[in-house]
Structure 1
Amino acid sequence: MIDATMTRRMEEATRLTRAGKLHEAMAILQGAMPEERGQEAPDNAYCGGTTFEGSCRVIDKGAPASRPASAESGSQRAGEPSAGAAPSSAFGHARQATTGNILGGDIGLPSAWRDKWRLLRESMAQPEQAHGINEAAEPGAFTAGCFTHHAGTRDYKLYLPGGYHGQALPLVVMLHGCTQDPDDFAAGTTMNRLAEEQLCCVLYPAQPMTANSSKCWNWFKAQDQQREGGEPAILAGMTRQVIATHGLDASRVYVAGLSAGGAMATTLAMTYPDLYAAVGVHSGLPHGVAQSLPDALGAMKGGSGPLGGGGPARAFGWASEVPAIIFHGDQDMTVHPSNADRVAAQYAASRRAGEPVKPGTSHARVTVEQGKVANGHAYTRTTHHDVKGEPRLEQWRVTGAGHAWSGGSPRGSYTDPKGPDATREMLRFFYHHQQGESRAS
């Protein structure tokens, strides 16, 4: 039974958690039970010994506004490496999440107290929502979980929209950029808001600093570019577990990412085309273009490696039939805009568009549209259609945009509200595709 002293400690710990002070909250609780310290997880443990998937509801209080990417210098934007930069700081801009990861905050608690604290915390959170203190929160549930695979362990956040009642909804997997985290990426892309409108679930895997000191997905390492190995295997396994646990539609599973996350998204399209029905690559790089950090830096700068241009890229070994939508700013000083053409060249729709038309066969149709966001950026959208007229590849080039999520919210890092809405356009594109459709057209 929880005595009055412990209740007061839990209330104070809850208050500190809401303020983003997880370490102080844990110190209060751990100090109350010295006899149980032996049950705690080790300091270097990333995922707690027992995982309560989806057991904690995260109450977002809103991330502080960040500077738009266009306002940052080239050396500051997304952690662009200088000559003496640490090898792992290939992408990203550091921003500390104010809401924290509640499951991560529970790691140091014995299981007997973990559930009691969670229940008290949730009961205390309800009046706040009722009084409108958390007006920015979505009506769905944003939960924390942890997935373990023989290749490694990763935390994640999962958004279940308010309209989810166990039905087989689509799933969108969102891969953050370096130094970002699921909360930051969700706030910046506003994908959860769109998930409410269009009824889909959203999975945000988290890359820990133990895997990469800047929390970048390791797209440039050979061991993380293969099926059934490294980070692709972890992410695919996590995706499958979430689908099975929540009864989601396995034929409508999509993956998107920004920067290093965009590079890993295209790697998943190359290595797991049977799992992901479509892919969104924002400010990313092609699959397999780098095998080391020097390769990665050269590719980011638009170097002349094996994927040094659209034409040579078509002859490169990697290719995917997965439909793709690509966004890139033409003023990106972190990942050279030419990488968008290189990414596009790895997808079948782009390859077929460059092939000569044979007598008696149909040819993919390519359309080019130019537009401008009201009081925002101009853009060029190039769309490759299949013989049925469906979009198989879309490439958006945003004029004047830097290394930032187009049309995103300033509540998250590395967003550019002046661009076309990449989140909405990706969902629109995704919903045209599902597994089982013909990919040879």
Structure 2
Amino acid sequence: MNDDFATAMRRAVRSTRALNLAEATRVIQDALAGRPASDARTSTNPDITPPPPVQRSTPFPVDPDAEIIQPLAKPEAEEPAERIGDAATSRRVRKSLGETVRILREGRLASGVFGLLHGAGLPGTAKQVPEPILPDGAQFLARSFTCPAGSRSYRLYIPASAPDRPRGLVVMLHGCKQDPEDFAAGTGMNAVAETHGLVIAYPSQSGASNASSCWNWFRPADQMRDEGEPSIIAGITMEIMSEFGLDRDRVFVAGLSAGGAMAAVMAETYPDLYSAAGIHSGVAYGSANDVVSAFSAMRGDGGLASGPKRLANRQWLRTIVFQGSADRTVHPFNADRIVAAATPTGVGWAVRKESGRSAGGRTYARTIVADTAGRPAVEYWLVYGAGHAWSGGHSAGSYTDPNGPDASSQMVRFFLDGLE
């Protein structure tokens, strides 16, 4: 392997970590084309600190339809979900530099890591969604929250069906290139909330914190309690809980893609705050601690990265998982790992499997882990033929699959199971 090429790749990774995507893009393009680095733009010292990040820099320029994994083979696409526990198998997280370079040469880094970290590899950008038409008495408020870790804006839906004493709260974390309005329109969660008397919070990731508005689920500082983005999201949650007098049993967190990965972080770091989590096309907690390990995890090659450790005496959160079998951004193996981590240890847990077909024609396998009373602790919906999109979503928003089973309704049904 050419030493200059290896040096360029290290420089590109450092620039990416610093969120200087324009510089990372240029370095990778020059290296892949065999062009020598310009003294005016690069340093001969591979350990030099990269230039400061450029806010709102352009995402990595790749074909948005480029695939990073092969879809499941057709014969397997009609089979039930994999058995629970297989995901616990340990695998290497870090690639050798030679393997990383090979991946880069094949163009998979662009559509892979940047796909979930910075929004490339996803079909388009967030839709410009007009303000929704609300039922009489409902509100869709614009708010902001500030704590020592930073500030974030958020939208709050207050249903007309329960404006003063809602039945519960769902915190919804959007994916890359999305915003609260787009995510609300695509998931249809406000309508579901109106039916069940729930308030819904949609925290907004800022472009200053991530160039494509992705939650930074892969950074160690954003995988820890009382620090970074988890502390901001938790602060928003507690603010709303206090306002409406809600306790933990009625508070839930859910997300898609990078938002799904961050929902897994919230479930792990704040198990005393949420009683259940919904993770759609996400990645398990602790899967990554930098760009390379994030890429490995997304492709389905990774085990647990070295980074924040799981809490020794953590509470188990009830968890519902949705995953498309043909997802070319996040490999379905990640859903297996999430399910394995969420399944309580010990005896007395029964596993049941079902299959069905949605009204839109998608077939699915549903795996349920329930206690002796029959109450589900974990549900896993593997939707055959679905890609990286919210199952059963609406075309008014981005990254949706209207043909799949309704993930919003199923998550809320799961969240409220057993409540009065």
Normalised to the residue count of structure 1, the TM-score between the two structures is: 0.66
Instruction: Flag the 1:255–1:316 CA change in 2: closer, same or farther, 3 A.
Output: closer
Which residue number in structure 2 is paired with residue 424 of structure 1?
409
Match for 2:183 among 185, 193, 212? 185
1:326-384 residue CA offsets vs partner (Å, 9 max, x unmatched): 000000000001100011111133x44xxxx5xxxxx2111000101134100000000
Alpha-carbon distance, 1:248 to partner = 3.6
Alpha-carbon distance, 1:74 to partner = 3.5
Q: Please, which runs of 5 or more residues in structure 1 have no aligned partner?
A: 1-71, 101-133, 308-314, 358-362, 435-441
Which residue number in structure 2 is paired with residue 196 of structure 1?
194
Which residue number in structure 1 is paired with residue 232 of structure 2?
234
Instruction: Flag the 1:229–1:400 CA change in 2: closer, same or farther, 3 A.
Output: same
SS of the equivalent of 2:249 reads coil
Which residue number in structure 2 is paired with residue 110 of structure 1?
none
Instruction: Flag the 1:306–1:246 CA change in 2: closer, same or farther, 3 A.
Output: closer
Which residue number in structure 2 is paired with residue 40 of structure 1?
none
Q: Distance in 2 between matches of 1:141 and 1:84?
A: 40
Matched, 1:411 2:396: yes
Match for 2:223 among 216, 222, 225? 225
Q: Distance in 2 between matches of 1:318 and 1:329?
A: 32
Moved more, 169-178 or 244-253: 244-253
Alpha-carbon distance, 1:166 to partner = 1.6
SS of the equivalent of 1:251 reads helix
5 Å-filtered alignment, 1:258-277, equals: 258-277=256-275
Q: Please, which runs of 5 or more residues in structure 2 have no aligned partner?
A: 1-63, 70-106
Q: Distance in 1 between matches of 2:129 and 2:166?
A: 32
SS of the equivalent of 1:183 reads helix
Counterpart AA for 2:316: E
Matched, 1:366 2:366: no
Alpha-carbon distance, 1:165 to partner = 3.5
Match for 2:362 among 374, 377, 396? 377
Q: Distance in 2 between matches of 1:214 and 1:318?
A: 35
Check whether the contact 2:129–2:185 (CA below 8 A) recurs between aligned residues. no
Matched, 1:329 2:324: yes
Q: Distance in 2 between matches of 1:321 and 1:249?
A: 17
Which residue number in structure 1 is paired with residue 76 of structure 2?
none
Q: Distance in 2 between matches of 1:215 and 1:318?
A: 33
**Ranges of 4+ aligned residues in structure 1 off by more than 6 Å:** 315-319
Matched, 1:386 2:386: no
Matched, 1:74 2:78: no
Q: Distance in 2 between matches of 1:392 and 1:269?
A: 14
Alpha-carbon distance, 1:82 to partner = 4.6
Alpha-carbon distance, 1:94 to partner = 1.4
Query: How many residue pairs end up in the alignment?
Result: 313
SS of the equivalent of 1:173 reads strand
Moved more, 251-260 or 82-91: 82-91
SS of the equivalent of 1:430 reads helix
Counterpart AA for 1:95: A
Check whether the contact 1:169–1:249 (CA below 8 A) recurs between aligned residues. no
SS of the equivalent of 1:217 reads coil
Alpha-carbon distance, 1:137 to partner = 3.5
Q: Distance in 2 between matches of 1:283 and 1:157?
A: 23
Counterpart AA for 2:324: G
Which residue number in structure 1 is paired with residue 255 of structure 2?
257
Match for 1:399 among 379, 384, 409? 384
Moved more, 87-96 or 242-251: 87-96
Q: Distance in 1 between matches of 2:134 and 2:213?
A: 25
SS of the equivalent of 1:346 reads helix
Q: Distance in 2 between matches of 1:186 and 1:375?
A: 21
Q: Distance in 2 between matches of 1:316 and 1:229?
A: 15
Identity percentage of aligned residues: 45
1:144-183 residue CA offsets vs partner (Å, 9 max, x unmatched): 0000010110000000001224225300000000110000
Alpha-carbon distance, 1:293 to partner = 1.0
Instruction: Flag the 1:403–1:165 CA change in 2: closer, same or farther, 3 A.
Output: closer
Which residue number in structure 2 is paired with residue 312 of structure 1?
none
Counterpart AA for 2:380: Q
Alpha-carbon distance, 1:90 to partner = 5.1
Which residue number in structure 1 is paired with residue 118 of structure 2?
89
Alpha-carbon distance, 1:198 to partner = 0.7
Check whether the contact 1:330–1:398 (CA below 8 A) recurs between aligned residues. yes
Q: Distance in 1 between matches of 2:178 and 2:277?
A: 20
Q: Distance in 2 between matches of 1:233 and 1:283?
A: 23
Match for 1:158 among 141, 156, 159? 156
Q: Distance in 2 between matches of 1:281 and 1:157?
A: 20
Normalised to the residue count of structure 2, the TM-score between the two structures is: 0.69
5 Å-filtered alignment, 1:51-66, equals: none
Q: Distance in 2 between matches of 1:221 and 1:278?
A: 23
Which residue number in structure 1 is paired with residue 214 of structure 2?
216
Instruction: Flag the 1:245–1:304 CA change in 2: closer, same or farther, 3 A.
Output: closer
1:206-254 residue CA offsets vs partner (Å, 9 max, x unmatched): 0011010010100000000011111111100110011212334443000
Structure of larger gyration radius:
1
Counterpart AA for 2:164: G
Counterpart AA for 1:97: Q
Q: CA RMSD in A?
A: 2.8
